[in-house]
Amino acid sequence: MFINRMTKRLLMSTTLTAGVVALASASALAQVNIDQVTEEGVKRADAGAAEQQRIEQIATQTDELLAEFNTLAKVVDGLKTYNSLLQRQVDNQEAEKAALSESIGNVALIERQIIPMMTRMLDALEEFIRLDTPFLMKERTDRLARLRQMMERSDVTSAEKFRRVIEAYQIENDYGRTIEAYKGTVDINGTPQEVDFLRIGRVSLAYQSVGGQYTGAWDLEEGRFIEVPPAQFKTQIAQGLRVARKQVAPDLLVVPVTAPSEE
């Protein structure tokens, strides 16, 4: 009986020990699971923070790329406008090049036409001088001779030749609006006499000898110089010479003028 009681106690003690061991094992296992869960949670939190930081970096880069895109878009728009302007300029230059090419192609034709025209202009000018009142004849005929010599020169451009011919016409035109005094000679009574000429436009060409002994004027109908009454024109022509030389102020003058003929 005593043995049975001891056996029962031993069995109870063994059972209790096993229960304690089992309880201790279960507690240790529970603690391990909690540590693992905690560690896993920390890892997930760290991973979430890293992911959030990466997302923020991506967002920042996206904003920077968007700002750069907007800037480049403005630059592109400006370049499109600039290129459009340049294209219009290029088109205009191309049109000018075409016009210049056409003009260059016509230069030879124009030159072939303008040279004969200038020759005819000189012929007409020579005829005009021959029929005009004979003032400054040497100066005018020498100018015409120089122009004819220039027409034969190859080192003078057609444009310069034309300019010089037009200039000669302009000089002849100006003679009709000016008053002038100059020295020359006139055949008086078969003897060349030094005289002072007074030219008033193309209306009157008079002369007066040095000292005022002879006074005359060009007669258009007779085509020569004739003497005029000294009492009527001597003082007036002398006054006109002083006016032409700007020695006195302009004044009303009475000079011999050929009356127009009725034809």
Residues 67-80: tens digit of each pLDDT: 888 898 888 888 88
Instruction: Kindly list the domain boundaries of the chain, sorted by start residue.
Output: 112-174, 178-244
Q: What's the rounded Cα separation, in Å, for the pair 126 and 22?
A: 148
Give the pLDDT confidence score for residue 26 in this predicted structure: 55
Of 173, 211, 171, 219, the closest CA to residue 194 belongs to 211
Distance CA 137, CA 3 (A): 180
The predicted-structure confidence for 95-107, as pLDDT tens digits, reads as follows 888 888 877 777 7
Q: What single-letter DSSP state applies at residue 219?
A: E
CA distance 156 to 248: 44
Can you give the pTM of this predicted structure? Answer: 0.58
CA separation, residue 32 to residues 16, 38, 41, 241 (Å) = 24, 10, 14, 141
* pLDDT of 212 over the 50 cut: yes
> Which of 22-36, 37-51, 69-83, 113-127 is most confident?
113-127
Q: How confident is the model at residue 25 (pLDDT cuts 50, 70, 90)?
A: low
SS3 260: coil
